[in-house]
Amino acid sequence: MEKQKIRNMSFPDHDGNWIEVLDMLKENNWHDCTTISPVEFCNKLRNSVPYEWSYWQELSAFECLILHKGMYDRLRNDFLDGVESAFEYVFGNAVFNVYVSKENNISNIKGHKVHFSLNDMIQGIKKLLKIGKQYKARPKEKNILLVTANHSGNIGDDAITLASLDILQEAYPDATVIIDKGPASKELISRVELVVLGGGGIFYDHCFYNVQNYCQYLLYAHEFGIDSAAIGIGAQGITTECGSELYRRSLDTVKFISVRDPCSYKKLKHEVVPKTNLYMHQDVVFGLKNSKSNLLIKKESKPVLLFSLLDASIMPTSNSTKLYQKSQTECVEFLTRYFDVILFVQSKDDLNMYKKLKDLYQLNILELEYSKTREVVDVYSQADLVLTSRLHGFIFSCLAQTPVITVASSHEGSKLGSMVFDSVPSAKSGFIVLKEYCLDLLKQKVDLYLRDPDALVPDVNEVNKNKNIVNKLPQLFKDQIKL
């Protein structure tokens, strides 16, 4: 089956500056030219590719350049050096300058000079290069740029950030680690010695902006001659032509790639196929350094259940999710008979559902700020039981040695199912397949807990094995990358 070029990428049809460019290209029969452009044009122009392609293709490979005045720094720094000798400026407006190769400009069309600003673009790029060279002249400073999805409303991503920070500080105790999440800045990247993508399920292409965000860090670092690596990576779906190529080209520039699960390993190895060595490790959160919390969650005589199931309303309705969606309310009502149910916000995506459950059953919602992330395992250790469909909710339960019931879409195809069956198989006794989730099945798991709570506690030896895998990452950095 042929891959789709790019998914879910809308064109700003309401913006006249963008529409003018399309109309002008069609009017002059340039719409089928080999073009480099902002990604939004790629589904409108069949032979168009995003700016990131400038990092492995030369200017001569293109017949048309659609240059966005606010995005010129996304191009390779020397990409435009020969543009004035090989191309002609044919159109401009407040947002774009458009160039066509001289052999394609048969009608000798000239763009209006009032919108011409290429020289300003090139001077801006040269300024970035100068800043980088000035910084590199100060060899005593060692900075590492850690890129994660931090501060994005998911405590799992925040825990990944801090666990990756722990790894880098152990590997390079004399370095300063700068934490970032995008958009990528060439000026910032020019000031560091190492760029690290810090883990989590950040590799997917159903939103191409996500691909660009993380790959730009790697491409920009490579352009400056700066080492890079990726650790604890999860691949959640790379299905498009452009997504696969951009990930492959970007990952080809890194020193090593550490993935967190067998499913991600297979996706990267067989679907993306980077040249760089892939290492099968584990989710970096297994190595998180924890702190004691002042928060006490036990307030009633009932045992405490931390609840962190996915919001059913934001899941696509299908035969595999109908029962899960239908069962949510009656399952929570059942749990309140036996437990003090606390709705724990693993992700703000679930907050709307939690607010409704709070109003229905007078429940408490618990949300930890980023600054409290290291306390999350201690909070989990205070619970008597956890019910979660969030990967890091499960990992926190493992680290806290708290009984846990997990709900995941499948045994193998989901990140949580893979974690349970491949890495912590002792937790299978508490596993429920999402499409089978219902009150009767939940009752069976709760009955097991009431008879023997230890039956739902992840085996400490399995947990320690995963910790030890993560604890090898600092040495991998020392072996592969010298600062």
What is the model's pLDDT at position 137? 46
| Token code pair at residue 432 | 């429920």
3-state SS assignment for residue 209: helix
- Residue 109: its pLDDT value, please? 81
Distance (Å, whole) CA 270 – CA 211: 18
CA 56 to CA 446: how far, in whole Å? Answer: 56
Domain extent listing, the chain: 16-132, 138-288+469-480, 304-451
CB of 212 closer than 8 Å to CB of 42 = no
Write the single-letter amino acid at 304.
V
| Domain 304-451 in the same topology as domain 138-288+469-480 | yes
Digit-coded pLDDT (tens) for 325-379 = 888 899 999 999 999 999 999 999 999 999 999 999 999 999 999 999 999 999 9
Q: What is the pLDDT of residue 114?
A: 63
Burial 434-473 (b: 16+ CB within 10 A, else e): beebeeebbeebbebbeeeeeebbbeeeebeebeebbbeb
What pLDDT score was predicted for residue 279? 96
Angstrom distance (rounded) from CA 477 to CA 21: 47
Note the CATH architecture for domain 304-451: 3-Layer(aba) Sandwich (3.40)
- H/E stretch holding 395 reads helix 391-400
Based on DSSP, count helices (H) and strands (E) in the chain, helices before strands.
16, 18
- Label residues 288-307 b or e (16+ Cβ within 10 Å = b): bebeebeeebeeeeebbbbb
Secondary structure of 218-231 as H, E, C letters: HHHHHHCCCEEEEE
Q: How far is CA 26 from CA 73, 86, 220, in A?
A: 27, 22, 33
pLDDT in tens, 425-466: 999 999 999 989 999 999 999 999 999 999 999 999 999 999
Write down the residue that tokens 């350094």 correspond to.
289
Measured CA to CA, the distance from residue 449 to residue 457 in angstroms comes to: 10
The token pair at 85 is 């000798």
Per-residue pLDDT 10s for the chain (483 aa) are 567 899 878 999 999 999 999 999 999 999 999 999 999 999 999 999 999 999 999 999 999 999 999 998 899 999 988 888 999 999 999 999 999 999 998 888 887 766 666 656 666 655 655 555 554 545 567 999 999 999 999 999 999 999 999 999 999 999 999 999 999 999 999 999 999 999 999 999 999 999 999 999 999 999 999 999 999 999 988 999 999 999 999 999 999 999 999 889 999 999 999 999 999 999 999 999 999 999 988 777 899 999 999 997 777 666 667 788 888 899 999 999 999 999 999 999 999 999 999 999 999 999 999 999 999 999 999 999 999 999 999 999 999 999 999 999 877 768 899 999 999 999 999 999 998 999 999 999 999 999 999 999 999 999 999 999 999 999 999 999 999
Q: What is the three-class DSSP state of 327? A: helix
Give burial (CB, 10 Å; 0-12/13-18/19+) of 179: middle
* Residues 143/192, Cβ–Cβ less than 8 Å: yes
Q: What does CATH list as the number for 138-288+469-480?
A: 3.40.50.10350
Facing residues of 344 across strands?
Answer: 366
